[in-house]
Amino acid sequence: MPSLPDGTGLPSTHPLVDGRTATSPLIDAYRARTPRRRPVWFMRQAGRSLPEYRESRAGTAMLEACLTPPLAAEITLQPVRRHDVDAGIFFSDIVVPLKLAGVDVRIEPGVGPVFGTAHRTAAEVDRLVTEHPAESLDEDALAPITEAVRLTVAELGSTPLIGFAGAPFTLAAYLVEGRPSRDHLAARALMHGDPQTWARLTAWAADVAGRFLRAQVLAGASAVQLFDSWAGSLSLDNYLRSVAPASHRTLSHVADLGVPRVHFGTGTGELLAAMRDVGADVVGVDDRIALDEAVRRLDGRVPVQGNIDPALLAAPWPVLEAHVRDVVARGAVAPGHVVNLGHGVPPTTDPDVLTRVVSLIHSIED
């Protein structure tokens, strides 16, 4: 799907329109232009690996932190200040839009999202969609998000903010399972056993996530990333039939705004082209596939993002440096390349290592 020009449909005060981020290294790479330096940021860069994050979050539950604008902004800004990365990623959680829609969900430490009820039958899904319509994510409900984005963007200046949302399959899998699952058996059973109910659930999740993304963009985010944490559990046929339409629907919520749309999933090497075709301008690649092979599977048509192995952040520096240089070299065959990890920053990562990696990436010449 061709990209719209930067700033299409955005307010005149948006960073892509007023010039703050329009020619930043990140946006240039996302737009397949030549950046003035090689851009890099890290998934989960705002998080438990930073002592300042742990200090900021002390005594505050995860969802409360996400919905407290000054705190969410501060946490988003921390890794940008420390590491000199080329983007901030909005501090949030994939279940935040569900919470804002009124769904009973909490995040249990050491477990993850836990729902008051699982949604495994047609009646349960009907009740969810009826009692918590996507339209309930209106301006008032999304006010904590838009305020947090505005506060963050005001501090970031010329550094872009990337908006964040979980993809419909991942949201639906959580809703059906009621909590984290290794195999998503209940979700896949509903997908195959009652495709109409599954379609209704994922369409609802798509609109919730889409409204969440749109609010972030209109408040100042210069790009968005849609995370499909669990799509790698699906075959290509199942993805195309049962997931791709909803992912397309999510990204369509920001299609008129002209911001780069990044789509990322884990274990999705066989799905890369399909993930591109739902409306992504950039495809994130995890560390289970070589980046140049990913570019080949994408026919060299879109920029890529990735894919340093997070495990190597704990390796001796010569090993990590060689790996980073190899990732950069393999990414050079793409129309554009934003360096990132193949998944999130592990919480035990030494922050100084991340800073050193950023410095290395910025120093590598073509």
Residues 6+ apart with CB under 8 A from 10: 16, 17, 217, 218, 257, 258, 259
Catalytic-labelled residue, pool 48, 106, 297, 356: 48
Q: What is the pLDDT along the chain (366 residues), one digit of tens a residue?
A: 344 556 678 999 999 999 999 999 999 999 999 999 999 999 999 988 999 999 999 999 999 999 999 999 999 999 999 999 999 999 999 999 999 999 999 999 889 999 999 999 999 999 999 999 999 999 999 999 999 999 999 999 999 999 999 999 999 999 999 998 888 899 999 999 999 999 999 999 999 999 999 999 999 999 999 999 889 999 999 999 999 999 999 999 999 999 999 999 999 999 999 999 999 999 999 999 999 999 999 999 999 999 999 999 999 999 999 999 999 999 999 999 999 999 999 999 999 999 999 999 999 987
- Candidates 6, 86, 93, 309; catalytic one: 93
Tokens representing residue 90 in the block: 């909005």
Query: Phi and psi for 94 in degrees, rounded to 5?
Result: -65, -20
Q: Judge whether 174 counts as a catalytic residue.
A: yes
- CA 41/CA 337 separation, integer angstroms: 11
Which residue of the set 38, 44, 214, 261 is catalytic? 44
Which helix (H) or strand (E) covers residue 163, if one does? Answer: strand 161-166
| 3-class DSSP state of 82 | helix
- The pLDDT tens digits of the residues spanning 91-125 come to 999 999 999 999 999 999 889 999 999 999 999 99
Catalytic option among 57, 106, 241, 356 = 57
Domain spans in the chain, listed from the N-terminal domain onward? 15-363
Instruction: Name the active-site residue from 28, 38, 82, 174.
Output: 174
Whether 44 is a known active-site residue: answer: yes
- β-strand partners of 284: 305
- CATH number given to 15-363: 3.20.20.210
User: Is 285 in contact with 342 (CB distance < 8 Å)?
Assistant: yes
